[in-house]
Amino acid sequence: MYVYVNGEILPKEQATVSVFDHGFMYGLGLFETFRMYNGKPFLLAEHLDRLSHSAEEVGISYSFSLHEVQKVLDELMMANGLRDAYVRWNVSAGAGGLGLQSGVYTTPTLIVYMKPLPTMPSSKRAHILSLRRNTPEGEKRWKSHHFMNNALAKQELFHDPQAEGIFLTKDGYLAEGIVSNLFWVKEGTVYTPSLSTGILNGVTRKFVIRLLEEQGTPVVEGLFTRTELNAADEVFVTNSIQEVVPITAVHHTMYQMSTVSDGLRQAYRKAVHEL
């Protein structure tokens, strides 16, 4: 694997950052994960827009044009011999002193990882996690280096590593998956937890909601409990790498794989083809 680090493309063994990088020391880092389809990044502008706004709120001075991003991606694809790929675009605060600082970080560390796509599941099982979703570090959740809550949740699934874990909030409301956003269908209406639960406003989440609205499917965002999920006709999760994944069961509750998730997958693939 070759990795991009601050203007250089390096073998992974040579890719390093400073031990004083505040992304390592204090978790002051942000990232976007997206997918390359035949050399083209999908929903790239949306990912970079979220990253830019998050960096501004965290206090990291960062800017990169779409043209510059595509140039980096082209170079990494050539180095790694890939056209379809998993990409993590990572911006950390950069090296600082020992101790927190209140000013803006003006020399961030940019790292871009690229690897072959993993095997894509046609469906998944899910489990309600006993570990509750932590609250966002700020007013809203960023896609940041603060991943301890997710890592501990993944350990909870050691008995079923291919399953997705579903977080509840501290108040018992449905939140999101460990690496996904959650949706379910009841009598033709699609439901998904509100951003007020503290979930990540996923780029794919927003895109899927837009696809549903274009199809004329009602979408309701709100505060929901396991009772609503148990009564659902079908359940699915979304993320930028796996797209739309039907959930066949949550614990012992089984769900059908019906027309809504199938239609979404077809619409998603059509959008990718148009790219």
Does domain 2-116 fall under CATH 3.30.470.10? My reply is: yes
Query: Which of 88, 196, 197, 105 lies closest to 144, judged by CA?
Result: 88
In the numeric block, the tokens 């050399």 are attached to 39
Q: What is the pTM (predicted TM-score) of this model?
A: 0.94
Distance CA 235, CA 240 (A): 17
pLDDT single digits (tens) 40-60: 999 999 999 999 999 999 999
Give the model's pLDDT for residue 275: 76
Query: What is the secondary structure of 59-103 as a DSSP string?
Result: TB-----HHHHHHHHHHHHHHHT-SSEEEEEEEE--B--SS---S
Tell me the two tokens of residue 10.
Answer: 């390096």
Q: Decide: 213 and 161 in contact? Cβ < 8 Å.
A: no
Residue 160 has pLDDT above 90, yes or no: no
Give the model's pLDDT for residue 41: 97
Residue 258 has pLDDT above 80, yes or no: no
Mean pLDDT of 245-252: 93
Residue 104 DSSP label = -
Q: Decide: 192 and 250 in contact? Cβ < 8 Å.
A: no
pLDDT over 90 percentage in the chain:
90
Give the model's pLDDT for residue 11: 98
Q: Count Cβ atoms within 10 A of the Cβ of residue 117 and give its class: 0-12 exposed, 13-18 middle, 19 or more buried.
A: middle
Does domain 124-274 fall under CATH 3.40.50.150? My reply is: no
Q: What are the start and end residues of each CATH 3.20.10.10 domain in the chain?
A: 124-274
* Of 257 and 172, the one with more pLDDT: 172
Distance CA 60, CA 71 (A): 22
pLDDT single digits (tens) 130-146: 999 999 998 999 999 99
Give the model's pLDDT for residue 159: 83
Residue 161 has pLDDT above 80, yes or no: no
In the numeric block, the tokens 């350990």 are attached to 155
* Type of residue numbered 177: G
Q: What are the start and end residues of each CATH 3.30.470.10 domain in the chain?
A: 2-116
Distance CA 215, CA 204 (A): 16
Give the model's pLDDT for residue 73: 98
Length of the chain: 275
pLDDT single digits (tens) 172-203: 999 999 999 999 999 999 999 999 999 999 99
